Structure 1
């Protein structure tokens, strides 16, 4: 797994660096550790529109800037909840990587809560806590993490998601 390029944020963005795991024992030793935060990512209308095009979800609250500014309770367009959720994988690459794997796949989600809308032009960043690392069928490890997508200047995060991955070394 590799890390994407970093994004600057509203205050120049700071990161605690990428945590690198090279062995199953290193990953298991990280249970309870918070990783991150990552860099701030600017949520643009172009990103929201591209997501709408990819998913077919063109609800006006996301893509009609004039109407959303005029009629929505948020005063501007907001990102799709699933757009925010889809950023978790990319933003996790900013804060940790697992080396020496033969396979790493998304196995699903245990729980997701969309807590606060992400307005167009907001900046978001991710913090992730390693919840558990257990042996799984076929010699894999099952990694469960809790990721919190923060919004700059907001008390409440955009979302909290418990994700499940399967990793083979």
Structure 2
């Protein structure tokens, strides 16, 4: 089992009363990689009207009433300013046959939408046409989260198809298998 703490790393206090060893960043990343997630592409539109998209597995339900979701984006991401200024975004949940789409939006590119069929969503935010689900949202809050920024969105419109989702775990894509 991977240890997340290094006994040779100076301890840090979280509350002033208890001291714990520092968490090793590489081990922390390895441990988190054991958590299987779905794969999404979060899209928006820049102030210039250009489509913007990024692959994100940092997506989660926050509330059913009101319908809220959250996701996060690295502070160093080149597209951060577009997500901050847009006020809207869409979460496109990818299907098992869309690993190439996930990789295309995960890599730096001047045209991440090249060869990707889209349709206009609310506020002209692009929706990936073949995604298995779409959640169209307005930003209700942004919060700092360490080296990421958290985006909380109120879901304005949602749709889903009956297809298998793409799964990501331990740095690899896979598929979900139902047990009886």
Do Structure 1 and Structure 2 share a fold, with TM-score over 0.5? no
TM-score, normalising length from structure 1? 0.25
TM-score, normalising length from structure 2? 0.24
Q: Which has the higher contact order (CA 8 A, sep 6+)?
A: 1
The structure whose Rg is larger is 2
Higher helix share: 1
